[in-house]
Homo-oligomer: A and B are copies of this chain.
Amino acid sequence: MCFKELEESFKDHCGIFGIYCPDKKLEVAKVTYFGLYALQHRGQESSGIAVNDTGTILYHKDNGLVNEVFNEVVLNHLKGHSAIGHVRYSTTGKNDRENAQPLVVKYRKGHMALVHNGNLVNAHIIREKLEQEGAIFQTTIDSEVIANLISRNRIKSDNIEEAILKTMDEIKGAYSLLILTPNKLIAVRDPYGLRPLVMGKINNSICFASETCALDTVGAEYIRDVEPGEIVTVTKDGIKSTKYRQSFKHLCVFEFIYFARADSYLDGISVYEIRKKLGKQLCKESYVECDIVIGVPDSGTTAAIGFSEEAKIPFSEGFVKNRYIGRTFIKPEQSQREISVRLKLNPLKNNVAGKRVVLIDDSIVRGTTSRKIIKMLRDAGAREVHLRISSPPVLFPCYYGIDTPDRKELIAANYTTQEIAKILGADSLEYLSLEGLNSVFENKLQNFCTACFSGEYITEIPEGFNKYIFEEGV
């Protein structure tokens, strides 16, 4: 598909939302629907919601956007006092409806539904071990591994929280989980806090979401972030917190740079503010004399505004983006190749013609999109194009739930900055420095996962790991 080239940015794997409404005054499936709607940017391939009503878990899930998968009739069937939901970005081209979440299983204590955002790095090892003991697997998602472990650990545990703690001893990697059991809604965040998870309140209902923008959308008040290594259990009797024996703060820094919606706050920090500051810092580090500052829509806009303010060079729009771009499967014929790029973006010719342009983007992955965008600007008459990136070079793949290519496809891992500038056709190229990034985070960058820049992974990465590992044999 032609657009994929253009949409070469990183992709997060999932968004999750859950709610417990003890008095059933809210229609939990609908609230979850709207919560997922606000998290759609975190995953557009599949959507699902499970509800619990007196031990009976009903669910519906399929490939598609939230508003494609659900309608009034389906939502009206999903009655209950608690609900969890999931949107997913699929990393593979396969028809993998079976991999949609929530995963709903029956185990000895009744039914359980799970949704998961993140990526385990040792799921393949656990699966192999469980398979050696005779277990069978029906999907390729980590949630199935986690559900198996919880079920097994539940045997020797007094309660599910204990079983989850034992499971946390076994699984390594990134996970924000929401679990529905006959009586509980449980939120779990891995001990490193790699993926975000926030908690809110609507009247006397408690809800959880990947980002605060979902709380805002459903009209919930923000309470606090679920802490790294924390298990929050909600029942009709209220909220209980259980802590894993150790925890660290290592929220993925890319949530701030690119994934999260600008209006969200993660661990109490405004995503928008960070992005603007990244633009300002970028300007401090690599100012260049120019006529206008433009951002790659939409991901580079906020940093561009920050850069513009700092540089005192006017911010301007360089492109118009087609707001109706959706999933199209029509491929332009060979002779119409350029269409694929133009379908999404068109430069504002007389805004850039004859100008020296600073072009801001949040990151470069393979560089294919950047090259096309720079060519568009030049074709539109830009005199100079100086590319500025509001994050350091991505040198290492992510193992914690972000869809990155192999190292050999990461342009920054293979070329010098000058070489990249040349490949992309830019007059100059500068990245933000790691120090600059640190300063934007008020010198607390050690509290974030920056493995994609530094290669210093928070956890051990087991040999043989790759993210499609379970699908290879399929």
Contacts and interface: CB of A to CB of B under 8 A. Distances in A.
A67 interface: yes
A447 B332 CA distance: 39
A305 interface: yes
Contact of A332 (B30, B44, B262): B30
A339 B34 CA distance: 8
B107 A131 contact: yes
A431 interface: no
Number of copies: 4
Given A314-B309, A348-B263, A136 B105 contact: yes
A213 interface: yes
B270 A339 contact: no
Contact of A272 (B30, B155, B309, B317): B317
B330 A75 contact: yes
Contact of A322 (B31, B37, B111, B342): B37
A159 interface: no
B317 A305 contact: yes
Nearest to A217: B342
Given A305-B317, A309-B314, A346-B217, A473 B111 contact: yes
A137 interface: yes
A162 to B, nearest CB: 14
Contacts of A95: 60
Nearest to A44: B324
A67 B351 contact: no
Given A40-B324, A324-B40, A330 B70 contact: yes
Nearest to A327: B67
Contact of A110 (B41, B315, B473): B473
A323 interface: yes
Contact of A106 (B132, B134, B137, B262): B137
A336 interface: yes
Given A72-B329, A323-B41, A136 B213 contact: no
B473 A262 contact: no
Contact of A132 (B155, B263, B302, B333): B155
A70 B70 CA distance: 21
Given A106-B473, A136-B107, A330-B71, A41 B301 contact: no
A152 B134 contact: yes
Interface in A29-52: 30-31, 33-34, 37-38, 40-41, 44
A318 B331 CA distance: 37
B135 A151 contact: yes
A343 interface: yes
A29 to B, nearest CB: 10
Given A70-B330, A134-B148, A216-B342, A350 B37 contact: no
Interface string A55-80: 11100100001111011100100000
Nearest to A128: B108
Contacts of A328: 37, 67
Given A111-B473, A137-B106, A339-B217, A33 B330 contact: yes
Given A34-B332, A134-B152, 17 more contacts: A26-B333, A34-B330, A34-B336, A38-B346, A44-B324, A56-B473, A67-B327, A72-B330, A107-B137, A135-B148, A136-B147, A216-B346, A218-B342, A262-B317, A263-B347, A270-B348, A298-B323
